[in-house]
Structure 1
Amino acid sequence: MLVIEDHTLFAESLELVLQLEGYAVERMAVPPQRVPAQALVSKALRARASIVLLDLSLGGFGDSTALIRPLAAAGAHVVVVTASTNRAQWGECLYLGARTVLSKGGPLSGILSTVRRITNGFPVLPVAEREAMIDLWREARAEHAAQHERLNLLTHREAVVLGELMFGKTVSDIARESVVSEATVRTQVKAILAKLGVSSQLAAVGLANQAGWRAPQTRLLGTA
C-alpha cells in the first residue's frame, strides 16, 4: 500500500489505521515545489504498491491528476482521496483510471472499507454512478472549451479591457488610464459582452475566471 499525501496528520492517521489492519504501508514524501509529474510517477512505481491512496491536491506540487493514468496503467489500484467536492473533477479521475474517489470529510473507516473490497476483488463503485460522474466531467470539459472559443473571439484591445475589469477597474478607470473616452470603453465592453454571450460585466469576469483565462501581459495600450 502506498500513501501519497502532503497533509502529515491525515497521512499518519491513515497509515496507522491501515497498519493496524495488517497492511504493509509506505508513505511517499511529496516535494514542496512543482516537479515533473514523471518524477513522482517513477518514485511511486518503485514502491511496487498494489493500491495507491492519492491526494488530489499535493501542496506545492499541485494537482495530482497527471499521476493517475500511469499508475493505473502499471497495474496499481488508484484510490483518490480528496477534500474537493467537485463531482466533475471526480469524474476526470475516474476517466483517467482511478478505481474510485473518496472524500476526506468521510470517516477513515470508509477508506479502510474500500481498501478491503479492492483487496478481496470486489467492486468499489456502481457502474451507473461512475458513468454519471464521467459524464459530468465531459460536460464540464465541453463547456470549458466553449468558453475559451468565445474568449478567443476578443480583439487584443477587448482582451485588455476584460483584464482590467477582472482587476476590479471601472469603465471610468479604464478610460482615464487609457486616455480615451468613456464612450469608447463602453463600446468595447458592449462588444465583450456580445462575444461572450453574457449580459453584464460581472458575468463576463465570472466566465473568464471560470475558464482560467488570463489577460494579455500588456495592459492599457490605448484603442489599438
Structure 2
Amino acid sequence: MSNPDRAVSPSVLIVDDHELFSASVEMTLCNRGIHAVRAHSLEPSAVLDQATQLQPSLILLDLDLGRDAEGRPRDGVPLARDLTRSGWQVLLVTGSTERERIAEALAAGAAAWLSKSVPFDELIYTILDGFAGRPMMDAKERQELIAEYRALQAQQRATNQKLAQLTKRERQVLDALVAGKRAKVIAEESYVSIATVRSQIRSILAKLNVRSQLEAVALVKSLNR
C-alpha cells in the first residue's frame, strides 16, 4: 500500500519495455533534479514491490509491456488497476492506439494518458503538472473515454445475456455462420435438412433480436474485438 508519509521530493517509477524511451525519460528527469527509476522487472508483482519500496510520486506505465517468460503478452491494464488500488498515481504513456484499452485503464483509476508520439517536452511538462497537482489531461476527455468504455461494457453484457439464451445446437449453428459457412453447408456437415438449419437460424435471430444473419455475425464479432 502507498505510504502517506512518502518523501516530499518528487520521484518517478518508469514501467516500460522500451529501453531507449525509458532511459531517455529517466535521464531527462534526473537532469531536472527528479528522482527517476526504471522498473527492475516488468512482472506485476515485482512492479508493485518496487513501488512500495520507492514510494513514487508518479508511475509512468506503458500498456504493452513485452512478453513474459512463457511468451505471453504482458498487458498493462490489470497492472494499472492494481497500482491505482494501492494508491499510486499512474500516468499512461503508451504507443498503443487501442482506445478501448486506454479507456479501461482510465476507468480502473489511471489519472491520465499520453501518446508516445507527442513531443518529448510535452511528456516532461505533463509529468511536472502531475507533481504540481494539476490535471495531466483534459477532464472532459477523460470522462468521455470512461463513459464510452462503460457503455461498451454494458452493451457486451447485454449481448452475452442474449447469447446465453441459445441452445447448444443454436450456438453451434451461429459459430458456423461466424466462420462464413452457409446454411446448406451447415446442413450437410450436420446431416440434417436445410429446412432444419433455417429454422434454427430463425430462432437464433429472434433470440438475438436481429433481423439478418449478417447482424447476428456482427454481434458475435463485436465481443471479440
Fold in common (TM above 0.5): yes
Which amino acid counterpart does residue 59 of structure 1 have in structure 2? G
**Mapped partners of 1:118, 1:158: distance in 2:** 53
Q: Please give the per-residue CA displacement for 1:76-131, whole angstroms capped at 9, x wherever unaligned.
A: 22011233444454333223221101123322322212111112222223333332
Using the size of structure 1 for normalisation, the TM-score is: 0.79
Q: Give the count of matched residue pairs.
A: 208
Q: Which residue is 2:6 aligned to? A: none
**Mapped partners of 2:171, 2:188: distance in 1:** 17
Which amino acid counterpart does residue 106 of structure 1 have in structure 2? V
Residues 77 and 101 of structure 2 are in contact (CA less than 8 Å); yes or no, is this contact kept in structure 1? no
CA-based RMSD of the aligned residues comes to 2.5
**Mapped partners of 1:53, 1:203: distance in 2:** 41
Which amino acid counterpart does residue 96 of structure 1 have in structure 2? A
Distance 1:104 1:205, change over 3 A: farther
Q: Which residue is 1:7 aligned to? A: 18
**Which ranges of structure 1 fall in alignment gaps of 5 or more residues?**
32-36, 214-224
SS at match of 1:124: coil
Q: Which residue is 1:150 aligned to? A: 162
* 1:78 matches 2:90: yes
* 1:51 matches 2:63: no
* 1:176 matches 2:188: yes
Q: Among the aligned pairs, what percent are the same residue?
A: 38
**Which ranges of structure 2 fall in alignment gaps of 5 or more residues?**
1-11, 68-72
Give the deviation of 1:140 after TM superposition: 1.2
Distance 1:121 1:147, change over 3 A: same
Q: Which residue is 1:221 aligned to? A: none
Q: Please give the per-residue CA displacement for 1:188-218, whole angstroms capped at 9, x wherever unaligned.
A: 22222222222333332222122239xxxxx
Which amino acid counterpart does residue 128 of structure 2 have in structure 1? R
Q: Please say which of residues 81-90 and 61-70 is displaced more in the overlay.
A: 81-90
Give the deviation of 1:44 after TM superposition: 4.2
Q: Please give the per-residue CA displacement for 1:168-195, whole angstroms capped at 9, x wherever unaligned.
A: 3222222111111222212222222222
SS at match of 1:25: strand
Give the deviation of 1:43 after TM superposition: 4.6
Alignment of structure 1 residues 1-224 onto 2, 5 Å: 1-28=12-39, 29-30=41-42, 37-38=44-45, 40-60=47-67, 61-212=73-224
Give the deviation of 1:65 after TM superposition: 1.9
SS at match of 2:210: coil
Give the deviation of 1:9 after TM superposition: 4.1
SS at match of 2:35: coil
Distance 1:27 1:202, change over 3 A: farther
Which amino acid counterpart does residue 36 of structure 2 have in structure 1? V
